[in-house]
Copies of this chain bind each other. A is one copy, B any other.
């Protein structure tokens, strides 16, 4: 039995350690979870006791195979619920995260499998993030940051790095969503801002923005 709190720590380690292989620091986890380092140390010990994490004092923590699967299962649930909310329940992509944080802890194998089928086995969530399968495998899709694209190139928005409400609302305002075509018109050397063409409208975006949008080369 994995508690709700343990699931949240597993998820944090999973995300910080690029799917859980790399060792992550106590402080990094504390920051991600908005908690204190001492609380993290306590929980890490519990996870290690349960064989969900590998832990060496002062050396950081990584997930075991079992821990990685448990974390991936939480992420799978989180993202499937987000799809349900957007596809069936009229949520917009900036409203789903908070509710999914709660729903991801519901325990029922059947529920999550039926949900998967009901949604027609989606491969990505509303933010373009991949949905792990039952075994925790995720389809690795190559995508780059918009900031990496050079002048005159065209690309398509396939995801966001920051999925905070504020950023998603900013994108909405400028009519950028998953699938939107973007052409880089020019780049400013000075502050690395860029002018892009979205639906035949030119807008200027900061480096912060272009650094948080994932794109793929236009096909």
Q: Closest B-chain residue to A90, C-beta based?
A: B114
CB-based contact A106/B99 at 8 Å: yes
Q: Which residues of B contact A99 (CB under 8 A)?
A: 106, 108, 110-111
Q: State whether the Cβ of A107 lies closer than 8 Å to any Cβ in chain B.
A: yes
Chain A, 99-142, contact with B by CB distance < 8 Å: what is the 0/1 string?
A: 10011001110110011001000000000000000000000000
What's the Cα separation between A111 and B88 when bound, in Å? 11
What's the Cα separation between A98 and B107 when bound, in Å? 10
Q: Closest B-chain residue to A111, C-beta based?
A: B99
Q: State whether the Cβ of A197 lies closer than 8 Å to any Cβ in chain B.
A: no
Count of residues in A whose CB is under 8 Å from the partner chain: 18
CB-based contact B95/A106 at 8 Å: no
CB-based contact A89/B114 at 8 Å: yes
Q: Which residues of B contact A53 (CB under 8 A)?
A: none
Q: State whether the Cβ of A91 lies closer than 8 Å to any Cβ in chain B.
A: yes
Q: State whether the Cβ of A83 lies closer than 8 Å to any Cβ in chain B.
A: no
Q: Which residues of B contact A69 (CB under 8 A)?
A: none
CB-based contact A89/B102 at 8 Å: no
Q: Which residues of B contact A85 (CB under 8 A)?
A: 111
Q: Closest B-chain residue to A108, C-beta based?
A: B99
What's the Cα separation between A108 and B98 when bound, in Å? 9
Most buried by B among A99, A111, A115: A111
What's the Cα separation between A90 and B116 when bound, in Å? 12
Residue in contact with A91 in the complex, picked from B88, B103, B110, CB distance below 8 Å: B110
Residue contacts A-B, CB under 8 angstroms, 11 given: A88-B118, A89-B115, A89-B118, A91-B114, A98-B108, A99-B106, A99-B108, A99-B111, A102-B107, A102-B108, A103-B106
Known: A90-B114, A99-B108, A99-B111. 7 other contacts (CB 8 A): A85-B111, A89-B114, A89-B115, A91-B114, A99-B110, A102-B107, A103-B106
